[in-house]
Chains A and B, each alone.
Chain A
Amino acid sequence: MSQHAHEKARVPFWRNPQIRAWIYQFIMLGGLLWVAFTMYQNTLANLEKRGIGSGFGFLQNEAGFNIGETPPLPVLQGGFLWFIAALIVGLFASRAIAVWLKKNDTTITASNKSVFAVITLVGIIPVLVLFLGSDSISFIRYTESSSYVTALLTGFANTIKVTILGCIFSTILGLFVALGRLSPNWLISKLCSWYVELNRNLPVLLQLFFWYFIVLQQLPSVRKSIDIGGWLILNKRGLYLPAPVAQSGAWPFCLAIGAALIGIYFIYRRSIRLLNERGTPGKIVLPSIALLVALPTLAWLTTGTPFTFEYPVLKGFNYRGGIDLTPEFTALLVGLTVYVSAFNAEIIRSGIQAVSNGQREAARALALKERHVMRLVILPQAMRIIVPPMTSEYLAIAKNSSLAVAIGYPDFVSVGGTILNQSGQAVEIVGIWMGVYLSISLLISLGMNWYNAKIKLVER
């Protein structure tokens, strides 16, 4: 014992592996900090030497240029802040309820009071807050006299718009193509495999040019527009649809739709419960449709017209009014969706095929219908394989959306580039670009990782 202690004491600290590991870590950290500090110093010194101004003060200056697509930006004050606060409180409270239920080992059923509590907290209260505060909600739209910050936010909104829609559409399209490739029908399966090979082997920029300069420019000119009764107008400058304009009855109408959706959710839960209890599912389709029609109609009749439509009309050079989908936006969305859907299809197909055939055979042996085999047995297991690589594809959409500048869509990079040139603040703008894209990517990763953790194999 004493000899052991003696030996231990003799080992100098630099030969102790644990202390050595710590020392290496500290040296590494110090080195990294030193590199970062030197870079910072160099940048400042170089900018100073060349007489270039620096700092973010210029962002408050008036932008002065025009942007082609200016989605409304919510101003974070009043109603919106209360809505976000209510949502956050609701989410935390419902989480606490879930944890408490789990601790008490209560099984959650549709009839349980806590489910009502959660729905009230997360769904109804925030919507109510939004309703009550609807007068203080304001949106701003970018104009030439707005600041550079507003210009950047507008570009950011345009990027987010394409990214979110691209993720949704590419997943849906990818799923169909994957199922098509697995189809026993020779023609469908071949067509789908050609679709995949063609789209994933052509560079995405080339595809964007194809959609923008070749496909969409084949449309007729403004004076010869395709006009379907004033409801749908299609020409080289875009697709024009009537825009709903909110009237006095708009809020009750939206609330009624929301309430109907919540009601449908309960009808669905009831159907599952009945299926478990008596072996036959409760009715879903008819009561749902009835609810979805009845509630909004009631709201319409009691509070008056919810929306009127503003139709696009030809004034001077272009159609004005209504909703307008520009060819730039369409080309970018279609190009990214088609390109990424080819990859998504392969990921989904590989996920489905990775589920062992025994599962499928067992499900069939239980006389499940073919669509139930896919939806209840195969897909849930395939999801665990599908989700991690899908994250990369969603990230690809977010990042590839910056190719927008090539086809004239005012995304974040395009607007930032204009500001860079206008103000000459290259280091600051590139810094903002990097920070924002990093944040978008990290947010997508975070969401997908959360989803992945949720669907992973539950081990009992």
Chain B
Amino acid sequence: MRTTRTLALVLAFVLTASCAFASTLQDVTKRGYLKCGTHIENPGFSALDSSGKRIGFDVDFCRAVGAATNVDVKYTPLTSKERLPALQSGEIDLLSRTTTQTMSRDTNLGLDFTVVTLYDGQGLMVRKELGITKASELDGATICLQTGSTTELNVADYFRKHNMKFTPVVFDKQPDVRKAYDTGRCDVHTTDVSGLAAQRSLMEKPEEHIILPELISKEPLAPVVRHGDNQWGDIVRWTIWLTMAAEEKGITAENVEKVSKETKDPEVQRMLGVTGTLWQNLGLDKDAPVRIIKTVGNYGDIFERNLGINTPLRLERGYNKQWNEGGLIYAPPFR
């Protein structure tokens, strides 16, 4: 089943003649669309809305890069097991699927992480009725989790460190993990806190579950590109930084055109391509920045629209506030 896809990807390694890859930017422009790998269904990050359109936090960064290169976006839904081989084999151009940046992934797999779009951490969700308030009370618990991510290792490390035992029940797909936890097969459901919030919103009675306060890992989630195509990596990086800088400067999808015409701030002028050749140097056209902001808005908009307090996920900004408000979101200067 799921292995079929992994097999196909391995076959792609085996069968394709070792032809050199042209630059990803050229490929994308020639093809006319961007191939972006996302979640199959993870509300808030990548899911289908009632009209069948794919929406979410991760999806918005796909759309931003699509706007930067002025092409359409086609989505490839992937399980966590398939996502890295899909990028390695060239099946997708960009992987935006809550992927944690780790050293081994960065160094041994031929991948490059771009900019962290969400500072997350792995959390533990339990039923309220158990009366548990902290993670150290979980000795002997049964834990439902999904295969193919850093989750398995984090939870094993955490329990080993605190000299506790647990029994894992490992599924291939997130909906099955949720179902198993919801029916009482497990005491604990674990994944990134943002993911837990998303899964809780889909449970039969969301109010009966609490997310414990401890974060058992650091999960900096970043879109990923293939190692070696530096121009493509820079395009993705600066597209993401643009959305962050736009929030800092108070630029939104609604006012971006007005700002680009009226602004007197030289950095904003350079940032939006009004003066200078920053975006042309990247291999894009000078209208790219305005297009990006008009398509997805600034970082704050993207967060609030998909994950924020007014969504079913009810996530606080937390670490993901701008740097000048005490958070970690920090775009380098546009000059």
Which residues of A come within 8 Å of B, CB atoms?
Answer: 39, 41-43, 45-47, 49-53, 64-68, 144, 205, 213, 217, 221, 236-237, 315-318, 320, 327-328, 402-403, 405-408, 410, 413-414, 417-418, 420-424, 426-427, 430, 433
In the complex, what residue of chain B is closest to A424 when comparing beta carbons? B109
Q: B157 to nearest A CB, angstroms?
A: 7
Residue in B closest to A49 when the chains form the complex, CB atoms: B18
Which A residues lie within 8 Å of B7 (CB)?
A: 430
Q: Which residues of A contact B179 (CB under 8 A)?
A: 213
Q: Which of A408, A414, A422, A430 contacts B153 (CB 8 A)?
A: A422
Report the minimal beta-carbon distance from B40 to chain A, rounded to whole angstroms: 14
Minimum Cβ distance to chain B for residue A38 (Å): 8
Q: Determine the residue in chain B with the shortest Cβ distance to A328.
A: B169
Find out whether the CB atom of B170 lies under 8 angstroms from the CB atom of A237: no
What distance in Å separates the Cβ of A402 from its nearest Cβ neighbour in chain B?
A: 7
A-B contact pairs, 8 of them (CB 8 A): A39-B14, A45-B18, A51-B228, A65-B153, A406-B172, A420-B6, A426-B88, A433-B3
A144 and B156 CA atoms in complex are apart in Å by 7
Quote the shortest CB–CB distance from B216 to chain A (angstroms): 14
- Contacting A at CB under 8 A, from B107-154, are 108-110, 138-142, 144, 147-149, 152-153
Query: Is there an interface contact between B160 and A221, defined as CB atoms closer than 8 Å?
Result: no
Q: Which of B17, B138, B170 contacts A410 (CB 8 A)?
A: B170
Instruction: Contact check, B170 vs A414: say whether CB atoms are below 8 A apart.
Output: yes
A42 partner residues in chain B, CB cutoff 8 A: 13-18
Q: How far is the CA of A67 from the CA of B147 in the complex (A)?
A: 11
CB pair A421–B148 under 8 Å, yes or no, is: yes
Note all chain B residues with C-beta closer than 8 A to A433. Answer: 3
- Contacts A403-B1, A421-B80; A50 near B152 (Cβ below 8 A): no
Instruction: Tell me if B10 counts as interface (CB < 8 A to partner A).
Output: yes
Query: What residues of chain A lie closer than 8 Å to B13, measured between beta carbons?
Result: 42-43, 46-47, 426-427
Judging by beta carbons under 8 Å apart, are A405 and B88 in contact? Answer: no
Q: Is B222 an interface residue (CB 8 A)?
A: no
Is B168 touching A50 in the complex (CB atoms < 8 A)?
Answer: no
Interface mask (B221-235 → A, CB under 8 Å = 1, otherwise 0): 000001110000000
B31 close to A (CB within 8 Å): no
User: Chain B residues with Cβ under 8 A from A51's Cβ?
Assistant: 109-110, 227-228
A205:B1 contact, CB within 8 angstroms = yes
CA gap between A407 and B226 in the complex, in Å: 33
Known contacts being A52-B88, A424-B109, is A68 close to B18, with CB within 8 Å? Answer: no
- Residue among A39, A53, A317, A433 with most chain B CB within 10 A: A317
A205 to B9, CA, bound (A): 23
